[in-house]
Amino acid sequence: MKKYWAEFFGTYILVFVGCGAIIINSITDGTVSHLGIGLSFGLVVMTMIYTIGDISGAHINPAVTIAFAVAKRLEKKQVLPYVGSQIIGAILASATLYLIFPDADTMGETLPLNDNLIQSFILEVILTFILMFVILNVSTGAKEKGITAALAIGSVVAFSAIFAGPISGASMNPARSIAPALFSDLPHLWIYIVATTLGAILSVFACKLIQKKECCTDC
């Protein structure tokens, strides 16, 4: 249960900080800035990995959890409890933000620019592929890699949000998209569930091409 609680709190904090940055930027006429939003997401992910990484692995992302199961680095029976904990934590975070900022124009939802679904779908697949590719590789091998894993993963989240956020929202995380969508916009949600999960799974096969066998058989 400690693992599931860790995923719950980790995802709650991720969504509260990241989506909170978007909301506060909106109601303060850009005080946080687009750069600040990207850094907020990257820094909170890095912090959560350092905080709960030793407890649950700090997935805080259903796509990451599913990819780890495909890579046989997580028991399949743990997938649903992990994903459930993440989604519940994310929804409660968005509910908290809605209570604090009920009149905000945005809840931090991820939306495709100009309703260009194909563009955003492809972008989310690639962004999540990159994120999971980095996660798989920095969590395998030398101990030094593990120590700096949070920095590398947080950096991927930050640079993805900074350069791709204006186009697709740079979700890379179904829970991060599901939660604010429940309080704002649902029609485009499927993109951020399907594309992110597909991108994460594809990265497992890429990892197998460059890593030793144990890359995807730790479980």
Please write the tens of the pLDDT for every residue from 18-50. 999 999 999 999 999 999 999 999 999 999 999
Query: Angle at which helices 79-100 and 62-70 pack, to 10 degrees?
Result: 170
Query: Angle at which helices 33-56 and 2-27 pack, to 10 degrees?
Result: 170
Instruction: Tell me the percentage of the chain whose pLDDT exceeds 70.
Output: 94
**All structural domains of the chain:** 2-216 (1.20.1080.10)
Q: Is the dihedral of CA 81, 86, 89, 92 positive or negative?
A: negative
Structure tokens at 166: 């204006």
Expressed in angstroms, the distance from the first to the final Cα of the chain is 19
Please write the tens of the pLDDT for every residue from 128-166. 999 999 999 998 755 556 678 999 999 999 999 999 999
Does residue 215 contact residue 140 with C-beta atoms inside 8 Å? yes
